[in-house]
Amino acid sequence: MLGKWLTNQTVNIVDSVNDWKEAIQLCAAPLLKNKAITPNYIDAIFQLHESIGPYYVLAPGIAMPHARPEQGVNQLGLSMLLVKQGVKFNSEDNDPVYLITLLAASDSTSHIDMLTQLATLFGNTDDMQTIFNAQHSDQILSVINRY
């Protein structure tokens, strides 16, 4: 199921980024390109982060930035960025973050199956280690395609 959303076009790996904002912008780029989101969606994530903190850092090394559907989502979408050297999101217990998965939900229900599969993936230590150690997006996709 995740393989429908996470593909060679939406999964990327970079060595490093300057900061958390750059990480989110790089992760969001494929969803901007395919018009799943508008630039307003990224701005909304930044504004939420500034006002309430890194609410989307879920666990050590894992972040899932998202905002409300009406803040710039055109259609359901998902993208993933692995930052090999990690990036600080100012999440005391979970920094540095290595895997950013940007979620664009077009309504309050259509993404529930996607979240269930992501939660299963994030809970599998071996698969997450394979993703964290990936050198190429194909290595990430080989794990993703099992979910």
Report the catalytic residues: 66
Overall average pLDDT of the 5-16 stretch: 97
pLDDT tens column, 84-103: 999 999 999 999 999 999 99
What are the C-alpha distances in Å from 5 to residues 53, 73, 90, 124?
Answer: 27, 15, 28, 19
* Average pLDDT taken over every residue of the chain: 96
Contacts (Cβ under 8 Å, ≥6 apart) of 68: 44
Report the pLDDT value the prediction gives residue 43, as an integer from 0 to 100.
98
Other C-beta atoms lying within 10 Å of the C-beta of residue 66: 22
Structure tokens at 4: 């429908």
Phi, psi of 103 (to 5 degrees): -105, 130
pLDDT given at position 4: 94
pLDDT beyond 90 at 80: yes
The model carries a pTM of 0.96
